Structure 1
């Protein structure tokens, strides 16, 4: 057997999905990854535009608003995962290595790649109450998870998608806050379902509460790239299967358009 290249790590290689192809006794067929795609997009209200543009989120919001016409390809994305190496954070193809970069993020999504890193602060245990207070609507609590794991995206869209043209400033802020939570849930999907994680509530609140900046202060582009790398690394190590197919948690719009 050929010696393992020095760039590859034995632990990652032993747990990599590629071992399923090499095992002739593997009984279960390889499954295509499940995707946390947005079932119903959220149209951007004109009152949201100034906040989205000031923080460099408008172009990605337009991409998310057209997700209904964007068809994600689970089989194609699965084939990419099979070629991802966690050691180098690159796809290993026959013709060499390739990986998305910050420049790709900027070109495809126009998200800012300069500024303060998007590092969520410590989450307050009272965050469900805080969100309900901000939105003036009690957030639903699932019986299956206590405390709740995040804010449901469907609940946000159902209750805050429609904003009256004559809405006052406080009502508009509530709708902007709800929309930002939904957008972050699309940008950073997770394994807990159609939820936005509590750590991202901080950034939605900052965007709504603070005066509009002249330049985008947060590097949402680098956060998306990190989230994509982490999602690919986790997915490449999923070799055990249950009744459900494994889950891929990345920004599918970005990764597929990059590919």
Structure 2
């Protein structure tokens, strides 16, 4: 403990706006929100092969509730916003570690692989942000519905409200099946793996990534999904340390953080 009654780790100038400093000095901050996290109620068995080829099947099964050995499914616990907020308040952006009373800890690539089943070897995930005309035009051509919403991305309520994308018909042709698969990827990638601060929106680069995966569903891919998820989560934690306004959000893969905790 040094001058001002603050712990040494909260004395650097960088931390003047850190949530941890403000709480220590008596300011009342509410919990961060996880408003972009979505649930997957069902995982169509016909998606298993393309998800396996993409390296996403173990994680997708877990998000849908992994089957138990003796019937039923094991539901994932709801996101605990208070728990995640407590982790943010212990996060150090300079070292990418949590500073607990007993020492430092960090989420590692090994943790990601063990907890989520996402591959940590392979090509880096690099996705460019398409122009507004590109991704909106693509959605209109692909699904036959014009999207006139915000440029921030596809509204999740709009995605879920597409009547033609209820349960995929058992006699669906390949094109219809892949349309359903692509919408599923919007939720898996944009609403779970890479939660964002744009609200309930699938951001344009996720739309582009889902389009790529759905257009090559049976070709093996070698993306290091685990590395991308961990990097996004680190960035989300760093950003969240500076969020002190009411209804502020936390981003990244929040299920990963909760499982790790």
TM-score by length of structure 2 reads: 0.85
* Residue 210 (structure 1) aligns with: 216
2:112 to 105, 110, 117: 105
Q: Distance in 2 between matches of 1:138 and 1:37?
A: 23
* Residue 225 (structure 2) aligns with: 220
C-alpha change, 1:97 and 1:65, in structure 2 (3 Å) is same
C-alpha change, 1:211 and 1:245, in structure 2 (3 Å) is closer
Q: 1:24-103 maps to which residues of 2 (within 5 A)?
A: 24=26, 26=27, 29-36=28-35, 38=37, 40-66=39-65, 69-103=76-110
C-alpha change, 1:9 and 1:131, in structure 2 (3 Å) is farther
For structure 1, which segment, 149-158 or 165-174, has the greater mean C-alpha deviation from structure 2 after superposition? 149-158
1:114 aligns with 2:121: yes
2:199 to 176, 179, 193: 193
1:137 aligns with 2:145: yes
Q: Distance in 2 between matches of 1:11 and 1:245?
A: 25
* Count of residues paired in the alignment: 247
Retained in 2: the 8 A contact 1:157–1:179? no
Deviation string, structure 1 residues 197-239 (Cα, Å, up to 9, x no partner): 111222212212226234x411111110001000000011123
* Residue 176 (structure 1) aligns with: 181
2:160 to 157, 160, 167: 157
Structure 2 unpaired stretches of 5+: 66-73
CA deviation after TM superposition for structure 1 residue 64, in Å = 2.4
Retained in 2: the 8 A contact 1:17–1:82? yes
Q: Distance in 1 between matches of 2:129 and 2:204?
A: 9
**Local SS of the residue matching 1:205:** helix
Q: Distance in 2 between matches of 1:38 and 1:6?
A: 35
CA deviation after TM superposition for structure 1 residue 42, in Å = 3.7
Q: Distance in 2 between matches of 1:7 and 1:76?
A: 21
Q: Distance in 2 between matches of 1:84 and 1:22?
A: 14
* Residue 68 (structure 2) aligns with: none
CA RMSD of superposed structures (Å)? 2.4
C-alpha change, 1:123 and 1:8, in structure 2 (3 Å) is farther
**Local SS of the residue matching 1:92:** strand
Q: Distance in 2 between matches of 1:11 and 1:42?
A: 45
Retained in 1: the 8 A contact 2:36–2:197? no
C-alpha change, 1:21 and 1:69, in structure 2 (3 Å) is closer
Deviation string, structure 1 residues 43-71 (Cα, Å, up to 9, x no partner): 11122111101111112212322396422
1:249 aligns with 2:234: no
Structure 1 unpaired stretches of 5+: none
CA deviation after TM superposition for structure 1 residue 88, in Å = 0.1
C-alpha change, 1:45 and 1:256, in structure 2 (3 Å) is same
TM-score by length of structure 1 reads: 0.86
CA deviation after TM superposition for structure 1 residue 104, in Å = 0.8
